[in-house]
Amino acid sequence: MLSTITRNKEAIIETVFEKSHYCFVAVDENGVVTFLNDSYCRFLEVDREKAIGKHVTEIIENTRMHIVVETGEEEIADLQYIRGNHMIANRIPVFSGGKVVGAVGTVLYRDTKEWMQMNTHIKNLLLELENYRKQLRNQTGANYSLHDIVGSSIRLNEVKEKIIKASSGDVSILLTGESGTGKELFAHSIHQLSERHNQPFVKVNCAAIPEHLLESELFGYEAGAFTGAKKEGKMGKFEMADGGTLFLDEIADMPLNAQVKILRVLQEREIERIGSEKTRKVDVRIVAATNQSLEKLIEQDDFRQDLYYRINVVQIAIPPLRERPEDIRVLAKYYLRNISNRTGNRVTDFEQEVLDFFLHYDWPGNVRELENVVESAVHLSSSEVITVDDLPDHMQVETYYNYQTNDLKDILEKAEITAIRNALRQTDGDKLKAAKLLGIGKSSFYDKLNKYGL
């Protein structure tokens, strides 16, 4: 009787997971693939034996399975872009003893023909939506939205959530973060999500405008206000942004005399053109950005404290790329695809050693540096796969992994990283064989992979 029940259960499981048209994947607590059914293998065009044991990000494009393992929160009916198609994915965390021990994911469709019809419909809707977005961009000047910010790490998603919450109001927002983290994209996104999205989005780079021209750029001038002025006068950025959003980029570089006048505009909601004796009402939302510490500048009397409180109603810190390594692989492949399509170069992938190096590089220039590195490598590559030799000289792996340190802990960690990388290379990425080659247990090996982000 029990054997019959067991056989029936096995038959049910086989039918659900192997003989249905749904795609199934399972990962462990480290995001490593433990199961991939035949339907998914065929769709992804991967060999199941090679896929199992690899991190899910290496197998499934734009996956969030590892994120679900980290958060313990299920994601139902999420639209996921895989191999040129928009798929509907469910991701469910698996709990045991009150702890997340893995996750199960499904991609839903009954048959290829039915899905392709649905996918075509979704593509048409997205194309129509993109057409409306382009029209809106031309009208307002805001070119980006949260949709354009690539990545799904916990840190980045936290920032996106804050952006969504803060955008709907009318409060001033200060974006902080290192150079190259994408503060301008977030500023565009704030405008797109606000009630002012149909109104102008005007950008002012406070570091790029000469000090003697900054006032006329911001507030405009009347005809004949000074030598060289246009006969018809000129509208300033505040007037241009009336009803919309004014983005003050690199606000830390704004001279003190201009800070005083901006403070007055924010307090009185009116501007006065150079050479004019009358004021003009303006309704502008301020989004500012800086890669410097305004608090330190206030201490040095280089930034007005009263202006700081006006623009810093909500502060959102954009994390540097090194603090969200989960996004590096996704960003690199995103840039590679776009750059290859734009240039016509047939470069389709990265050597695994390059991706491993990217995960350990410090990225002082952040996302902007990553894009530049990928573009440079695309132009320098002589094959369809970017190798270490295609990277800029200062990023060669040999230079990065030399032992220019007297710290024993650093030396040992770098030696471990090199040994693990070599073992994985020798075993073609088979983690179990690599652990055996190194003479360590499976759990210890996966702990080290997780520790070093390999």
- Residue 133 within any structural domain of the chain: no
- Residue 141 within any structural domain of the chain: no
Number of structural domains (the chain) is 4
pLDDT, average across residues 439-444:
79
Cα–Cα dist 163/314, whole Å: 10
pLDDT at 398: 43
Domain around 101: 1-110
Give the CATH number of the domain where residue 438 resides: 1.10.10
**Do 438 and 448 touch, CB atoms closer than 8 A?**
no
On whether both 209 and 300 belong to a single domain, the answer is yes
On whether both 190 and 52 belong to a single domain, the answer is no
Cα–Cα dist 214/236, whole Å: 10
Give the CATH number of the domain where residue 65 resides: 3.30.450.20
Cα–Cα dist 57/80, whole Å: 13
Cα–Cα dist 31/70, whole Å: 9
pLDDT at 362: 84
pLDDT, average across residues 352-375:
89
- Residue 195 within any structural domain of the chain: yes
- Residue 313 within any structural domain of the chain: yes
Provide the β-strand partners of residue 280: 271
Give the CATH number of the domain where residue 385 resides: 1.10.8.60
On whether both 277 and 259 belong to a single domain, the answer is yes
pLDDT at 316: 96
pLDDT, average across residues 35-44:
86
Q: For the whole model, what pTM was predicted? A: 0.62
On whether both 273 and 162 belong to a single domain, the answer is yes
pLDDT, average across residues 200-206:
92
Residue written as tokens 């047939």? 346
- Residue 381 within any structural domain of the chain: yes
Report whether pLDDT(394) > 90.
Answer: no
Mean pLDDT value across the chain:
83
On whether both 448 and 390 belong to a single domain, the answer is no
On whether both 176 and 314 belong to a single domain, the answer is yes
Cα–Cα dist 43/56, whole Å: 15
What digits encode the pLDDT tens for the residues 98-150?
Answer: 899 999 998 875 444 555 565 566 666 666 666 665 655 555 667 788 888 98
How sure is the predictor about 399, in pLDDT bands with cuts at 50, 70 and 90?
Answer: very low
What digits encode the pLDDT tens for the residues 309-329?
Answer: 999 999 999 999 999 998 999
Helix (H, G, I), strand (E, B) or coil at 176: strand
Strands 349-350 and 385-386: parallel
pLDDT, average across residues 233-248:
91
How sure is the predictor about 230, in pLDDT bands with cuts at 50, 70 and 90?
Answer: confident
Query: Which of 245, 310, 249, 232 minimizes the C-alpha distance to 282?
Result: 245
pLDDT, average across residues 342-347:
84
- Residue 164 within any structural domain of the chain: yes
On whether both 381 and 314 belong to a single domain, the answer is no
What digits encode the pLDDT tens for the residues 153-166?
Answer: 889 999 999 999 99
What digits encode the pLDDT tens for the residues 272-318?
Answer: 888 887 888 999 999 999 999 999 999 999 999 999 999 999 999 99
On whether both 342 and 444 belong to a single domain, the answer is no
Q: Which of 81, 110, 139 is the last residue of a domain?
A: 110
On whether both 5 and 90 belong to a single domain, the answer is yes
pLDDT at 307: 95
- Residue 132 within any structural domain of the chain: no
The number of beta carbons lying within 10 Å of the beta carbon of residue 277 is 7
Q: Which of 319, 350, 380 is the last residue of a domain?
A: 319
pLDDT at 403: 42
Give the CATH number of the domain where residue 308 resides: 3.40.50.300
- Residue 68 within any structural domain of the chain: yes
On whether both 299 and 341 belong to a single domain, the answer is no
On whether both 308 and 438 belong to a single domain, the answer is no
pLDDT at 417: 78
Contacts 24+ apart (CB under 8 A), 36-42: 40/107
On whether both 330 and 279 belong to a single domain, the answer is no
**Do 200 and 141 touch, CB atoms closer than 8 A?**
yes
Q: Which of 299, 319, 339 is the last residue of a domain?
A: 319
